[in-house]
Structure 1
Amino acid sequence: MAAAPPPGLTETAPSETLGGWLDAYPVAVSGGDLFGDAAEPVAARWKAVASGLAALSEGDPLALQETATRNAADLGLTFRVTGEEEERAWPLNAMPVVIGAGEWETVERGLIQRAELFEHLAADIYGPQRMVREGYLPAAAIAGSPFFARKMLDPARRLGAGQAAPHFIQVYSADLARGPRGQWRVLQDRVRIAAGIGYALENRLAMTRLAGHLLADQQVRRIVDFFSVMREGMIASCGREAPRIALLTPGRFNQTYAEQAHLARYLGFPLVEGRDLSVVDDRLWVGTIAGPKRVDSIWRWVNTTSLDPLAFDARSQLGVANLYEAWARGGVGMINWPGTEVLESPAFAAFMPRLCQVLLGEAPILPNIATWWCGQAAESATVAARLGELAVLPAFGQAVEGLQRREPVAGAELDGPQRAALLDALRRRPMDYCGQEIVHLSTAPAIVDGEVVPRPFTVRAFVARDADGVWTVMQGGFARLAASQALPTSLMGEGEISADVWVVDEVANPAQLVARTIPEPPISRGGGILASQAADNLYWFGRYNERAQIVTRVLRALLDGSVEIDGGPAEQGGVVGALVDLLVEAGSVEAPQETPDVQAICAAALAEASLPGGVTALMRRRQAVGLALRERFARDFWRLVSQGVPQVDQHRPATLLGAVRRLTEHFSALAGLISENMVRSAAWRFLEIGQRIERAQGICRMVRRLDDAQTGEGLDAEGTETKGIDAKGIDGGGLGVLLDLCDSQIIYRTRYLTGPMAGPVRDLLLLDPDNPRALVFQIAGIVEHLSALPSGRDDNLPEPPMRAARALLGQLQAATARDMTSAVLEEIEQQLYDLSNALSARYFLQFDPEQAERRTALL
């Protein structure tokens, strides 16, 4: 039935405006379109969905697509194309891929059969190897894979005593293609990592925001229940009550890191990297600010070869030493088991029909695309002879001679020299290659450039075990819509878009719309464990954020007209010179060689990305550490963090000042979210500590530059008061700028009836415990945060960071304005530096920077 119009639209809206998106949809005569081939009940659902979506945008497909794109951005969806450093916005199409429940039922049965087949096959490969001994599977098809884990052949080391549910595979996914005649086939199996499962969830969340009641009106099956079932199955596989399951990520440079962070947050799993973990006494531990905490199981998103440098690849910087031994002895669980990715090799696809018959006694419900493994003479000859009509790809997922990438390459696209080189390589090492038929994909309606047009598509579907070990299939997935009939690839590429997959019941099925009843968890408070690396990132996020804000405040002081002496900017040696010196000291700009051009300096400081203190560089660093914290940040928070520096025109002062003011508003908004939305957990405290240390150092620098060195009413190095005009001819104007920089102008005017004077200004900015912008307030806040953090000592004596912070606080509480000379402020800056080092030594991971650089190069 058609969806009811949303509020504000009448039921009498013309159908040609609101429901006609599919009336003129160009379906090919030869068939092969999901809408064009649909039976009448499903076609009616398609039309009702199109009508409902049209109603949401008053019949404008472009407006609907803009809303979908905005929803995806609000959810923080991003991805990274291979070879690129910058993330891209996730390309979500506003038109879902609608599949009837009857057609999906066949897909569902085929996926469960295939998952069970892989479980049997993994058990045989790492067990009796009957398929090899009886000639159903060549040994080279196994041993040729770099992911074949020979250590798993030892039964004592692959069936750990602590494994409650000895399943090789807990989560499985597959890329599916629908052919021109409506038949579904498997393009690629994914046993190691179910990449895309997080994007399927986020696509549905974004579409729910967009379409609302339309999903329920059109009997769209729920997918969120799948994640509850999957989580329950992972918990049950641990065999322990309330286990701690961590998602092991390769790190923020991985292509699917954003997805991993979303999943970890949604499932409530800590997101950890290898350097967060250590093995002691065959148990896995994560380093936290409260000391080591046991991890009962990991959901690995890294290759087997990278899991443990002592067991597999010694060059790995992603894994954990002795992790394999701990797993083999039952000290930690693993989802999925090591070595299972050997099953993903395209070489296996050539033998799947026969293996399915032998191991399960059934014909495949979802067949592979036709594949020839060239490790056999007849198959190699067939591929060579039919090269112009087949696709060729590496047999074991690794780049090989004659193929420039790991994805399939159509033989017909090769020129003469490329073809000759490939055939020569095929003759010399035939076992490295597979030939596959070229798939012609079905199309589905998609919104492209404001029109509804057919796009070739594939679907990634997901299967997981429940608490009883029974396979369950997600009632949907995510679709990839290609720009052409080019060979489908395993990763999102240029010009591709994604779409939510809606499995719809042809007739009303109220049972499908009822959410699963999930037992209420026990009451818990706190923010969960805080890994040492996460605390480190939070601390530096706070520091980079505050540092960028301080530089922005200096730029505002230079640009907004508050720096005036005798109606014009001060000379080089005056207040302007002091502000420029602050920028140079912060590493925001190079030291000017002549009288500074204020506008040019401000524009350079805003755009500077190479110097460490440029606003652009600082915000990029903030975002870089923020990427590793994505699972901890709310979406509104992350959306703000992802904003870049506004573009400016150096020759238009108004654009410079406007950009600085927008940045000031940006930092204020972020401060509001931190203050109002973050739970007062250890994570919040480390972010606050970072901000307060940076602000304290900034206050010391600004006071030294603008009061003691530049004003005529100040204190010299010995504490002797000086009055009047100093040798540089500057009066107390610098004190007013200093009050502006520290947001203390209003409180100063409220307390004092005179203009800014050195003693009162110093007291307000350095020693007033009630001024949130004062130096002493920052140190008091640091002491308060440190006192709330867990202690690592059994004797309850204060730890080094606390002793250092308390000593500094006592010094400030006992001081007077006259005591705060430049020499004292420089000493305090050094104390703050030492405090930062003490924090790092106590709470953060310590590692060799060269080792970290090598690790990054391997990603």
Structure 2
Amino acid sequence: MVRQAGTSQASKARPGHRRVALWTRDYVRLPGIPDEYIAQDGAPREVWTRFFEAFAALTPADIERRFGAADRHLREAGVTYRAPGEAADKLWPLSHLPLLIGDAEWQELCAAIVQRAELLELVLNDLYGEGRLVAEGAVPAAAIAGSAEYLRSVCGVKPPGGRYLNLYAADIGRGPDGGWWVLNDRTQAPSGAGYALENRLVLSRAFASLYKSMNVERVAPFFEAFRESLRASADRDEPRIGLLTPGQFSETYFEHATLARYLGFLLVEGDDLAVSGDRIHIRTVAGLKRLDVLLRRVDSNFLDPLELDAHSELGVPGLIDVIRKKGVVVANMPGSGVMEARALLGFLPSLSRRFFSQELKIPHIATWWCGQKSAREQVLSRLDDFAIEGAYVRGVPGFPGNGPVLASELSPSERDRLKTAIEHRGLDFVGQELVRLSTTPVWDNGHITPRPFVLRVFAAATQDGWTVMPGGFCRIADQLDARAVSMGDGTRAADVWVVSDKAVSTTTLLPASDSVRIRRVAGVLPSRAADNLFWLGRYLERAEATLRLVRALGLQRDHSRAATSQHSVDRIVRLLVAWGAASSGARSQTARIATEALQAADKFGSALSLIRSARRTAASLRERLSPDAWQVITEMEARLSEEVHDDDGVVSAAELTLRELATFSGLSQENMNRAAGWRFLDMGRRAERAINTARLARQFAYEEAGDEDLDILLTLVDCQITYRSRYLVAPLLAPVRDLVILDPYNPRSVAFQVSALNDHIAGLPALNEGGLIERPHRLAVALRATLTTGEAAELDSKSLFALEQDLLTLADAIGSHYFPHGASASRPEKLTGLA
């Protein structure tokens, strides 16, 4: 074992050096394993010495405070991921120490990554083009044909935009000699760049002075170059670029939303896109809009159910044909994932000599593809010396897990089964040299300790060649003997700092002001996003109505306040039961009913269930919601998830959540641009508030209602102060009905909501040709006319019920008109406005 070099007595006298000595006194480099802190000669690397000296200038209390600030930012911003095979999101596990790499070493690594990216691009051009590599025996045909990622449907198709690889990534680690080795190539749809960006934002904010003093290379120029390269690949000056995501249930959906927001791309799913002619279009609330570039995070085989996997619901029918007609640039080109096959690794050194007349600048793990007789015999003869992997898939065919299989650790029967499988179908397997991952320091309760890591480095193809992100995506395992690291249990991420001896420029994604055309709207609004915004507003408004009923029910048991008659209590209970917020129960069970309606997870209409529905809906809008808005929603869910024990707890939780709903409403009113997105969010709130208010009026402003029922209604719709300021008498039926239903000046009345809906619908683009008034607008105008000409004395339970049904019809008409699903999604009027 190799320990850190000692510290002189003079240096130990200084507090900073004493702290460094304390942190590192038990740091041990594992035998035979390269380490980032301790070099091959046993001495600390200079870049880490410099870092710890600067880090030690912070007091222990300040360090903990900054660690806490980083964790709090992750929690409040909702930075999450989903481990493979799991349904629930997890908080992003960020290591508090970065991975450090010196600038000189980084430049050598960049040159090797660029060489590798260029080689893979040349190989892809040949495999899908002339096919000389296979014809001349440089690559066995079986090594290519065995991969499900080799797509025959794009053979002979030149990539629109001119490239197969727009973004390349390599997973790397240090080899036994201390140099960097490639562990895997990522050419399909490389993930992690968005998380790398988020890691940088969090850590550079928590340790701003340290980050600046270390002269860390910025990542913004990389993203700027990548964005510009995609823009330049299109065939018009101001292209529309989309990021294709599998949706919010993807393991890395947060990253997709982060990249879309940071780069200014539209986040789209397959259902958002449609083929018209030889182009791809986005379904928007203004009709179909042409899409020029598609940065995909969906695997190739799922991109087009017509020509690829027919079971896919993630892609766009007809996309491959559009690519043939050069109607859209797709990055990376479908079929590029074939270069991730381990079967090809053993051929890359000779291919490098063929294309470049030079060796690979960075080696990869020695790999033997068992599809070749000589390699298969060598693997079988020394089976215990190899790690066996799938040649084309993660893990080993026929064995559980996504990692390598070590024959030496298998039972005799399993070992025989593996050997037989390799003998019978060797092309599905590779043997790789046994390699343990190198280690890097992590912070562990006031000490540093080594942990295995994998670094993913990204390269973007630009007009000026390949640009490498100065940093990357680092994953760290908690187990010392880890042979592979994925974002599952016991894994954390780390920011990657490329440290320079010189000051670095502070580059951002903001271009020069004179090169940007002024805009006042953010661009098109996909129909799916509009649908989710509309329902986000409805879910939150439903939750508010339920919370007000819960509060009213809880207050009736508080004898220090005015008690509610049992007759009125029964009406509240019936509403909660009818809304699916609580189970039916006896009058003596009001405490249970209030608690259920507040936080019963199995009741679809409870406040907790509605807030969770709102959170799920908001999760698919991450690129459109501010961190503050997301934080409010998550805090409401957390509060309602806490167990309450008495009536006071129920009332308190309801009141606090109502205040947070008011906060969200304020954020949406004051911070969202008055574009189509805001309109649909507000339309959802207005439609749901109008429906709920009409329903509450029908329950508590019926013909025989007394002043107590009317008083409850005024409380539920938050009109007590307004009524008392106008009338110096107890609540009376006609004035209450007028205030709650017909008053256009009352922001809580039905008339006010209907007027707002009319304004919103009138402000949205028309989808029908010929200038005919569309159904949602027609229904809204009719409702406004009814309420404008109505009189309180003429309202009764029957007319209130009819009003409620008309409001429900209007809400449904908005949904079916602007958010079409299924066969109606391509109806003729949606083909207008193809700009």
Matching residue of 1:6: none
Residues 676-755 of structure 1: pairs in structure 2 closer than 5 A: 676-708=670-702, 715=703, 722=704, 731-755=706-730
How much does 1:501 deviate? Answer: 0.4
Inter-CA distance 609–649: structure 2 relative to 1 (3 Å threshold): closer
Which structure 1 segments of 5+ residues have no match? 1-11, 709-714, 716-721, 850-859
Q: Please say if 1:332 is aligned against 2:328.
A: yes
Identify the match of residue 499 of structure 1 among 494, 498, 502.
494
Matching residue of 1:582: 575
Matching residue of 1:669: 663
How much does 1:536 deviate? Answer: 0.7
Paired residues of 2:389 and 2:430 also in contact (CA < 8 A):
yes
Matching residue of 1:239: 235
Matching residue of 2:365: 369
Q: Please say if 1:179 is aligned against 2:175.
A: yes
Matching residue of 1:15: 16
How much does 1:567 deviate? Answer: 6.5
How much does 1:420 deviate? Answer: 2.8
How much does 1:490 deviate? Answer: 6.0
Q: What is the alpha-carbon distance in structure 2 between the residues aligned to residue 208 and residue 566 of structure 1?
A: 52
Secondary structure of the residue that 2:441 maps to in structure 1?
Answer: strand
Q: Please say if 1:607 is aligned against 2:599.
A: yes
Residues 509-548 of structure 1: pairs in structure 2 closer than 5 A: 510=503, 512=505, 518-520=511-513, 521-548=516-543
Inter-CA distance 829–191: structure 2 relative to 1 (3 Å threshold): same
Q: Please say if 1:278 is aligned against 2:274.
A: yes
Inter-CA distance 244–514: structure 2 relative to 1 (3 Å threshold): closer
How much does 1:59 deviate? Answer: 5.0
Secondary structure of the residue that 1:631 maps to in structure 2?
Answer: coil
How much does 1:440 deviate? Answer: 1.7
Matching residue of 1:7: none
Matching residue of 1:479: 474
Identify the match of residue 73 of structure 1 among 52, 75, 81.
75
Inter-CA distance 387–639: structure 2 relative to 1 (3 Å threshold): farther
How much does 1:19 deviate? Answer: 5.0
Secondary structure of the residue that 1:299 maps to in structure 2?
Answer: strand
Amino acid at match of 1:787: A
Matching residue of 2:633: 641
Inter-CA distance 427–837: structure 2 relative to 1 (3 Å threshold): same
Secondary structure of the residue that 1:176 maps to in structure 2?
Answer: strand
Once the two structures are superposed, residues 209-238 of structure 1 have per-residue CA deviations (whole angstroms, 9 ceiling, x without a partner) of: 111132221111111110000111111111
Residues 79-228 of structure 1: pairs in structure 2 closer than 5 A: 79-153=81-155, 155=156, 158-159=157-158, 163=160, 165-228=161-224
Comparing 263-272 with 133-142, which one deviates more in the overlay?
Answer: 133-142
Q: What is the alpha-carbon distance in structure 2 between the residues aligned to residue 749 and residue 171 of structure 1?
A: 65
Amino acid at match of 2:591: Q
How much does 1:764 deviate? Answer: 1.2
Comparing 555-564 with 812-821, which one deviates more in the overlay?
Answer: 555-564
Residues 350-365 of structure 1: pairs in structure 2 closer than 5 A: 350-365=346-361
Paired residues of 1:402 and 1:421 also in contact (CA < 8 A):
no
Q: What is the alpha-carbon distance in structure 2 between the residues aligned to residue 202 and residue 244 of structure 1?
A: 25
Q: Please say if 1:769 is aligned against 2:709.
A: no
TM-score (structure 1 length as normaliser): 0.90
Once the two structures are superposed, residues 331-350 of structure 1 have per-residue CA deviations (whole angstroms, 9 ceiling, x without a partner) of: 11111111110110111112
Once the two structures are superposed, residues 798-823 of structure 1 have per-residue CA deviations (whole angstroms, 9 ceiling, x without a partner) of: 21101101100110111111222111
How much does 1:648 deviate? Answer: 4.4
TM-score (structure 2 length as normaliser): 0.92
Q: What is the alpha-carbon distance in structure 1 between the residues aligned to residue 353 and residue 22 of structure 2?
A: 45
Comparing 488-497 with 282-291, which one deviates more in the overlay?
Answer: 488-497
Amino acid at match of 1:97: L
Q: What value does the CA root-mean-square deviation take over the aligned residues?
A: 2.5
Paired residues of 1:53 and 1:211 also in contact (CA < 8 A):
no
Q: What is the alpha-carbon distance in structure 2 between the residues aligned to residue 299 and residue 516 of structure 1?
A: 18
Comparing 731-740 with 562-571, which one deviates more in the overlay?
Answer: 562-571
Matching residue of 2:388: 392
Secondary structure of the residue that 1:808 maps to in structure 2?
Answer: helix
Q: What is the alpha-carbon distance in structure 1 between the residues aligned to residue 21 and residue 731 of structure 2?
A: 70
Q: What is the alpha-carbon distance in structure 1 between the residues aligned to residue 62 and residue 19 of structure 2?
A: 9
Number of aligned residue pairs:
808
Secondary structure of the residue that 2:472 maps to in structure 1?
Answer: strand
Inter-CA distance 596–121: structure 2 relative to 1 (3 Å threshold): farther
How much does 1:476 deviate? Answer: 0.6
Amino acid at match of 2:749: A
Q: Please say if 1:433 is aligned against 2:435.
A: no
Inter-CA distance 493–182: structure 2 relative to 1 (3 Å threshold): same
How much does 1:54 deviate? Answer: 4.8
Amino acid at match of 1:584: V
How much does 1:62 deviate? Answer: 4.7
Secondary structure of the residue that 1:632 maps to in structure 2?
Answer: coil
Which structure 2 segments of 5+ residues have no match? 1-12, 825-835
Matching residue of 1:854: none
Paired residues of 2:370 and 2:429 also in contact (CA < 8 A):
yes
Q: Please say if 1:347 is aligned against 2:343.
A: yes
Q: What is the alpha-carbon distance in structure 1 between the residues aligned to residue 688 and residue 40 of structure 2?
A: 62
Q: Please say if 1:819 is aligned against 2:794.
A: yes
Q: Please say if 1:789 is aligned against 2:764.
A: yes
Paired residues of 2:453 and 2:474 also in contact (CA < 8 A):
yes
Q: Please say if 1:27 is aligned against 2:28.
A: yes
Q: What is the alpha-carbon distance in structure 2 between the residues aligned to residue 250 and residue 624 of structure 1?
A: 15
Comparing 49-58 with 33-42, which one deviates more in the overlay?
Answer: 33-42
How much does 1:180 deviate? Answer: 4.4
Matching residue of 2:774: 799
Q: Please say if 1:622 is aligned against 2:622.
A: no
How much does 1:771 deviate? Answer: 1.1
Inter-CA distance 451–67: structure 2 relative to 1 (3 Å threshold): farther
Q: What is the alpha-carbon distance in structure 2 between the residues aligned to residue 750 and residue 797 of structure 1?
A: 44
Inter-CA distance 349–847: structure 2 relative to 1 (3 Å threshold): same
How much does 1:261 deviate? Answer: 0.8
Inter-CA distance 660–331: structure 2 relative to 1 (3 Å threshold): same
Secondary structure of the residue that 1:363 maps to in structure 2?
Answer: coil
Matching residue of 1:289: 285
Comparing 556-565 with 233-242, which one deviates more in the overlay?
Answer: 556-565
Paired residues of 2:133 and 2:139 also in contact (CA < 8 A):
yes
Q: Please say if 1:416 is aligned against 2:420.
A: no
Identify the match of residue 658 of structure 1 among 652, 669, 674.
652
Q: Please say if 1:553 is aligned against 2:548.
A: yes
How much does 1:305 deviate? Answer: 1.1
Secondary structure of the residue that 1:318 maps to in structure 2?
Answer: coil
Amino acid at match of 1:219: N
Once the two structures are superposed, residues 644-668 of structure 1 have per-residue CA deviations (whole angstroms, 9 ceiling, x without a partner) of: 2424445433332222222112211
Q: What is the alpha-carbon distance in structure 2 between the residues aligned to residue 564 and residue 817 of structure 1?
A: 34
